Amino acid sequence: MRKEIICVGSGGQGIILGGHILAEAAGIYDGMDVANSGRYGAAARGGVTVSEIVISDEEIDYPKVIRADYMICLSQEGYDTYKHVLKKEGILIADSFYVRKTEHENTKLVPLSDIVRQKSGREIGTNIAALGAFTRITGMVSENAIREAVKKMVPRGTEDFNLRILNIGLGNIIHEIEVSNREQDLQEEYISILESDTQW
């Protein structure tokens, strides 16, 4: 079964590395066939970055995303630019701080950057938290595979930090909301996270 995933965000958020890690998890640790590619322009940072991953249990013919089954999104601009690539019934996993307005019914807003910021004072690692949330929500890769891939691919010396962040993504801090009353739910979400004392 062929499944297509598209990761979008702003330059610098680690979208490309996130895509590499996800592909490594699926291809090397879960033994699936996998194709991963990016889209990039001439700019070094900023702008919309994209990583495409195709996962299949048989030989992948066309290696690019045609209509994505899943989207991981870390910026509103990224969503607006690539929302047409995600199937109508596709699952959107988005950062609740950066993505406010979505059209897909299966939207799962996760306070990824909020949590990472609260725990470490910076937002570095939001991409890893997103991979955790993706793994938990979709089951497209195994927990073990994504752990091993993160351990292997992140810069040396940051393995523990990133594995802790991954665990948060893999945890229960996920909030599914309706499109109509998102604003209200977001408020509640923020309050509950900020009041929580999540163990690392």
Partner 1 sequence: MSLLLSGNEAIVEGALASGCRFFGSYPITPSSDIAELMSLRLPILGGKFIQMEDEIASLGVCLGASLTGLKSMTATSGPGISLMQEHIGFAAMGEIPCVIINVQRGGPSTGLPTYPSQGDVMQARWGTHGDHPIIVLAPSSVRECYFLTIRAFNYAEKYRTPVILLSDEILAHLREKVELDENVEIINRDFPKASPQEYLPFDSSYDVPPLAPYGSGYRFHITGLMHDETGFPTADSEQVQRLQARLARKIREEDVRDVDARFMNDARICIFSYGSTSRSGLRVVNELRRRGEKVGLLRPTTLWPFPYEEVKRLSRKVDVIYVCEMNLGQIVGEVERAAECNVGFIGKADGTIITPEEILCKIYQ
Q: Does 197 bind partner 1 (CB under 8 A)?
A: no
Give me the least distance between CB of 46 and partner 1, in Å please: 15
Q: What is the dihedral of CA 46, 48, 51, 54, to 10 degrees?
A: 180
Distance CA 162, CA 124 (A): 9
Distance CA 160, CA 151 (A): 8
Question: At 112, phi and psi to the nearest 5?
Answer: -65, -55
Distance CA 24, CA 65 (A): 17
Q: Does 194 bind partner 1 (CB under 8 A)?
A: no
Instruction: Return the sign of the alpha-carbon dihedral for residues 104, 45, 118, 142.
Output: positive
Residues 25-64 that bind partner 1 (CB under 8 A): 27-28, 33-38, 40-42, 60-64
For partner 1, which is the closer residue by CB, 34 or 165? 34
Q: Site map for partner 1, 1-30, x if CB under 8 A? A: -------------------x--xx--xx--
Residues 118-157 that bind partner 1 (CB under 8 A): none
Tokens 């895509």, residue located = 19
For partner 1, which is the closer residue by CB, 120 or 142? 142
For partner 1, which is the closer residue by CB, 86 or 173? 86
Contact footprint for partner 1 (CB under 8 A): 20, 23-24, 27-28, 33-38, 40-42, 60-64, 66
